[in-house]
Structures are given as structure tokens and as C-alpha cells.
Amino acid sequence: MQINSERLADIFVTLCEIDSPSRKEGRVCAYLKEFFATRTPGATLFEDNSNSVTGSDCGNLIVRFEGELDKEPVFLNAHMDTVAPGEGVKVQREGDIFKSHGETVLGGDDKSGIAILCETILSLQEKRTPYRPVEFIFTTCEEIGLLGAKNLESSLVQSSMGVALDSVGTDEIIIGAPAASRIFVEIQGVSAHAGLHPEDGVNAIQVASQCLIKLPLGRIDVESTANIGLIAGGTATNIIPDHVSLKGEIRSHCEKKLRRLTKNFHDIFQGVIDQCNAGFASRNLSADFLFQEENEYPAMKLTPQDQIVQLLLQASEAESRKLDLIVAGGGSDANIFNRYHGLTTVIVGTGMEKVHTTDERIRLADMVRQSNLVYSLLSF
């Protein structure tokens, strides 16, 4: 057996129980520095200065192994941060399954990816298996906009192709992912006493609701989705609310379509505001809005012929496995590596389930399965 499954389990649990919410990844980074410095001969470590931009308490961590095989180098990526609630994690193990105690996420997104890389390099060195040159890239602030990847000092990376271990499932290679834009809308109405003089007010929440009815949300087409996920407004039940904010996102595998959908969102807000103001005119009242768009990440699209895809397929054949090539709906560091840094990157899963919830879980067998895949990728 290539992988020490119980050692992998111990590494995973240790990582999960180290708090690392976005911008507070420093303790995990310190753990990894000590881990590689003391347990993996030949490791060279670099921490970049991305934290000067991201606001994290550490930079991205790059760990390089020269390897013995005269083959093109690859990199492997996982992120160090977790979503909330992710502090005070206590891992519960039930046979082959790891989950949290129920009040926090488990942190398998993406501690499972980190643990897989730690165990794989230990196994390769322990068994004296020759392997190709490889770099591990551990990023910060992935969960809050891929900030670590966006500010990666890519000059520190020698590899030109790699794999991000950051998805569900175990039997796919993700070669396509959408572009995404965040949407921020502020609607301004007019406050008034809700009981004494409601006619003197413009209810910003009511205006927002009329906008929401007209917005295309959910699955728009096979390439595109949209969502409004946060709404906040109002101060008291007896005051006409004069302000409401909405936050959402639009995703599409076609960037031209993403721009069209974003413009359509703006035009819907504008049209509703104009219509409402026509009705308010007799009372000399009006509403207004501010619409802002932020490009979160670009689309990612590889082909079956890309070298890293072919290497993964060959590695899976060595493991007597068949991996499907798919297009997924989420963004990851891979989107940024491909577009911003010229690093050809695909995504594979680690077996994580129900991510970003307190019901998150993962099977040890799936982490072992993916560790064996990485082992083969590096050593065949």
C-alpha cells in the first residue's frame, strides 16, 4: 500500500483543529513550515509577501521538492483558510467518516487537500520512490475572493502546470469553471413615521422587493446562474425604511454573457426605480440606487489535450481508475492561476461532502484514494 491511511487521518485531524479563518491562516502556515522542515528532507520553503495586500497574518506558502525523475515539474495547490463558523473545530471520527461536532464546519475544504499533499510526499520519501520535481502552493484568503491566489508572487513558482485539490468527488477532472461577478446594490428611499405619516416616506425595502421579483435568479441557462444572497435594511418597525442593501453574484462560463447579464441586472433596477419615482412624483418624493459590480474571477477553460490533463489521465490509468472530464459551476484558485499567472491548472476533488455547512464530512477512503492518485502523478 502506497499511503499510510492512519497517518493521513492524524494529519487531517490536526489541520482541521487549527483555526484558520480567512486572513488568520498564520497558525496553519506555521504548522506546515515546521512539518516540511522537519519531516521531508530536501524541502525548500518560500513565503511570499501577498499578506501586504490581502491583510492575512501570513503569505502564501510555496514548498519545493527537486525530485529525482528528469521530468517536467508540476505544482499542487490547496488553500489554508476555511469558511465560518470555523473556529474551535473539534473533529469527530465515526469509523471511516470525519465530521465536526456540529457547531462548526469541519474544514475539509480545504484541509483535506493539504493533508493529502503532506501524506503523499511523506510516503514517496519513505518508500524511496523516485518522483518528478514538484511544488506545493498553499494559498490564503481563497474563501473571500481568491485573494491569496490573485496576489501570489508567481515568480517564486518554477512549474508551469498543476492541479488544485479543491472540490467534491473523486472521479472527475474539472477542466472548465465559470467567471463570476459580485453585485452590490444600495437603494435609498425616504424615512417617515410608519404610523403617523407613512405617506411621507418611500419604503426602500418595498422598492427592493419589486426589483427582486423581476431579476432572473437561479439557473438562467446551461452556462449561467445568478443569486441575491444578502439583504439588509430598516431600523425599526415603526419607521419607513429609507435604505436597503443587496449583495449577490452572477456566474457564467461565457464572459460576454456575464457582461450582458450584469447589464440586465442594472437595467432592471433602473427601470423599477424610474417606475416607482413616477408614482412618487405627486408627493415630491423619489428613490435612488447605487449599482456596483466587482469581477471576482475569470472563466477557466482547458482542453483534454492539455499536458496536465493527459498526465492525470495517465496517473489514473496507473491506479486502474477512470476519471471523467467535466465542467463545474464553482470558482477556485485554478481560475486565477490560469488567467492571471499563466499557470495551466485543473481541479480535482478530495472527497469532501456538504462543504460550507456544519454537516460537512469526508471519508478517509476518499482521501486515501486521492493521495494514491497524486502519488502516481508524481512518480510514473
Catalytic residues: 81, 142
Nearest to 35 by CA among 265, 75, 162, 27: 27
- Bridge-based pairing of strands 243-252 and 179-188 is antiparallel
Cβ–Cβ under 8 Å, residues 164 and 350: no
Give the residues across from 360 on adjacent strands: none
Long-range contacts of 85-90 (CB under 8 A, 24+ apart): 85/358, 86/19, 86/20, 86/21, 87/19, 87/21, 88/19, 89/16, 89/17, 89/19, 90/17
Long-range contacts of 37-40 (CB under 8 A, 24+ apart): 39/122, 40/65, 40/121, 40/122, 40/125
Is the dihedral angle over the CA atoms 29, 31, 34, 36 positive or is it negative? negative
147 CB-side CA count, 13 A:
20
Cβ–Cβ under 8 Å, residues 41 and 125: yes
188 CB-side CA count, 13 A:
6
How far from the centroid of its chain's Cα atoms is residue 39's Cα? 29
Nearest to 364 by CA among 103, 114, 136, 112: 112
Residue 205 CB neighbour total at 10 angstroms? 17
Q: At what angle do helices 307-318 and 364-379 cross, to 10 degrees?
A: 110
